[in-house]
């Protein structure tokens, strides 16, 4: 009887040992039995084994867009300084990237906080000392430009106070350009008479090209692009006798000239015509050139270029039941539609006011701002 029991126990232990070896369960002494059978395939312990039906236990990272131009969230407003977070909901502006070799910082403005600088590696955001005359004023956009000697400057259109502020990158206020006054020649009878009768001045965007500021005025009834002559040593700006555009739906007219852009390397003026779902293009002399048409129903707020690529942020898209899109363009064709609210979980991005492009390490990044409520985020291209 005792001999039979020993045989049964011995047989059972051998069976258990084989089962443990085939399943990869470690022995009590910590040496995997399976290692004796196949040392080239390390064993999987029970603790490592996936739950039934869980092929990928990690939650999927939200991605938005199509083809090779798909994006995920890289950074949110949680990285902003506390002073900026306090006023973020009222954000109503835009950003500018310093694309010079070895640079890469991005600048934007928040009323109540002042100028902010995103580091070149996009890992931190810092406040830049800001003049008191600017700090509590809304700046509708931000532009970086370079003087004849290569010196960098920032320019901000204050849409509510009717001023244009020029600073250096350290935030020092260099010049303030105010409303055109009666008697100043603006190169257009309509514009001359408008300001002669104390018409409202509400600049929405400023660009610099060949010694001139080009200023969009979409938040007032005028809705022309005005120009101002820029001088140096010291920096100053005076209104100039060139203006073009005007309210309308025809070629070269604006429903709301919401922003203005000079594409890198070109002598061309692009104006985002928000309610007409298009970008209107002009020569530097104000001659209408062409129209870039966007999906019908889009409220196009701006356009920013990087090589053959561009991004257009929309205050609303064709489908008003969804959060607004950012359109990604290649060679002037929409090739991807990014939905930050619907597909990336950025709940405050119902309306998108601004977006700019960066390229780092072969990847594209979109730095974007929402409006009403305001918010800030950076999106990263998905290349896997």
Percentage of the chain exceeding pLDDT 90: 84
**pLDDT value of residue 59:** 77
Contacts of 99 (CB under 8 A, 6+ apart): 264, 306
For β-strands 333-338 and 236-245, DSSP reports them as: unpaired
**pLDDT value of residue 56:** 54
pLDDT category, 301, cuts 50, 70, 90?
Answer: very high
pLDDT category, 55, cuts 50, 70, 90?
Answer: low
With the C-alpha atoms ordered 284, 146, 271, 309, is the resulting torsion angle positive or negative?
positive
Contact 262, 210 (CB under 8 A): no
Beta strands in 17-133 (DSSP E): 64-66, 69-76, 95-97, 106-110, 114-118, 125-128
Percentage of the chain exceeding pLDDT 70: 85
Contact 166, 144 (CB under 8 A): no
**Paired strand residues for 328:** 311, 336
Dihedral angle computed from the Cα positions of residues 51, 53, 55 and 61, in that order, rounded to the nearest 10 degrees = -100
pLDDT category, 335, cuts 50, 70, 90?
Answer: very high
pLDDT at 32 over 70: no
**pLDDT value of residue 11:** 47
Q: Tokens for 222?
A: 């005028």
Domain locations in the chain?
2-23+32-37, 64-381
Per-residue model confidence as pLDDT tens digits over 94-115:
999 999 999 999 999 999 999 9
**Mean pLDDT throughout 341-356?**
98
Across 19-33, 73-87, 223-237, 294-308, least confident range: 19-33
pLDDT at 348 over 60: yes
Q: Is 270 left (phi over 0), alpha (psi -120 to 50) or beta?
A: beta
**Helix, strand, coil percent values for the chain (each to nearest 5):** 15, 40, 45
Per-residue model confidence as pLDDT tens digits over 7-29:
434 444 444 343 434 444 343 34
pLDDT at 206 over 70: yes
Per-residue model confidence as pLDDT tens digits over 305-323:
999 999 999 999 999 999 9
Half-sphere exposure at residue 350, Cβ-oriented, CA atoms within 13 angstroms: 8
pLDDT at 224 over 90: yes
Check if CATH label 2.120.10.30 holds for domain 64-381.
yes
Per-residue model confidence as pLDDT tens digits over 134-193:
999 999 999 999 999 999 999 999 999 999 999 999 999 999 999 999 999 999 999 999
**pLDDT value of residue 57:** 60
Contact 58, 358 (CB under 8 A): no
pLDDT at 353 over 90: yes
DSSP type of residue 318: S
Q: What is the DSSP string of 169-224?
A: TT--EEEEE----TT---S-HHHHHHHHTT------EEEEETTEEEEE-TTSS--E
Q: Which carries the bigger pLDDT value, residue 49 or residue 232?
A: 232
pLDDT at 90 over 70: yes
DSSP type of residue 132: H
**Which residue matches tokens 């700019």?**
356
Q: How far apart are CA 187 and CA 176, in angstroms?
A: 22
**Paired strand residues for 109:** 115
| 358-362: long-range pairs with CB below 8 Å, 24+ | 358/97, 358/104, 358/106, 358/122, 358/306, 359/306, 359/307, 360/104, 360/121, 360/122
202 to 157, 206, 223: CA distances (angstroms): 8, 12, 9
For β-strands 106-110 and 95-97, DSSP reports them as: antiparallel
CA 193 from centre of chain: 38
Contacts of 102 (CB under 8 A, 6+ apart): none
For β-strands 163-167 and 363-370, DSSP reports them as: unpaired
**pLDDT value of residue 23:** 42
| 33-41: long-range pairs with CB below 8 Å, 24+ | none
Average pLDDT, the chain: 89
First to last CA, the chain: 66
């Amino acid at each position: 009887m005792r001999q039979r029991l020993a045989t049964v126990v011995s047989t059972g232990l051998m069976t258990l040992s084989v089962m443990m070896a085939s399943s990869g369960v470690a022995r009590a002494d910590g040496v995997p039995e399976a290692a004796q059978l196949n040392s080239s395939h390390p064993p999987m312990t029970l603790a490592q084994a996936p739950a039934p039906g869980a092929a990928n236990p990690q939650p999927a990272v939200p991605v938005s867009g199509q083809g090779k131009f798909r994006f995920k969230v890289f950074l949110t407003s949680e990285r902003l300084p506390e002073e900026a977070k306090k006023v973020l909901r009222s954000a109503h502006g835009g950003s500018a990237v310093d694309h010079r070799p070895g640079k890469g910082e991005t600048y934007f403005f928040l009323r109540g906080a002042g100028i902010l600088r995103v580091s070149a590696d996009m890992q931190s955001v810092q406040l830049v000392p800001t003049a008191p005359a600017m700090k509590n004023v809304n700046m509708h956009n931000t532009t970086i430009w370079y003087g004849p000697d290569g010196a960098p400057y920032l320019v901000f259109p204050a849409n509510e106070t009717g001023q244009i502020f020029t600073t250096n990158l350290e935030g020092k206020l260099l010049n303030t350009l105010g409303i055109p006054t009666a008697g100043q020649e603006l190169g257009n009878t309509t514009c001359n008479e408008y300001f002669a009768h104390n018409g409202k001045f509400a600049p929405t965007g400023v660009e610099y090209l060949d010694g001139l500021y080009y200023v969009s005025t979409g938040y007032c009834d005028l809705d022309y692009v005005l120009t101002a002559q820029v001088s140096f040593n010291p920096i100053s700006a005076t209104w100039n006798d060139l203006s073009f555009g005007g309210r309308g739906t025809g070629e070269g007219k604006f429903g709301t000239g919401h922003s203005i852009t000079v594409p890198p390397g070109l002598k061309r003026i692009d104006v985002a015509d928000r309610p007409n779902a298009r970008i209107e293009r002009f020569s530097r002399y104000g001659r209408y050139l062409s129209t870039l048409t966007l999906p019908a129903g889009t409220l196009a707020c701006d356009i920013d270029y990087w090589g053959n690529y561009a991004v257009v942020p929309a205050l609303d898209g064709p489908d008003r039941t969804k959060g607004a899109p950012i359109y990604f363009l290649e060679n002037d064709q929409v090739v991807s539609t990014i939905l930050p609210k619907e597909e990336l979980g950025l709940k405050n991005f119902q309306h998108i006011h601004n977006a700019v492009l960066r390229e780092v390490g072969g990847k594209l990044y979109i730095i974007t701002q929402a409006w009403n409520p305001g918010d800030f985020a950076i999106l990263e291209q998905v290349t896997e």
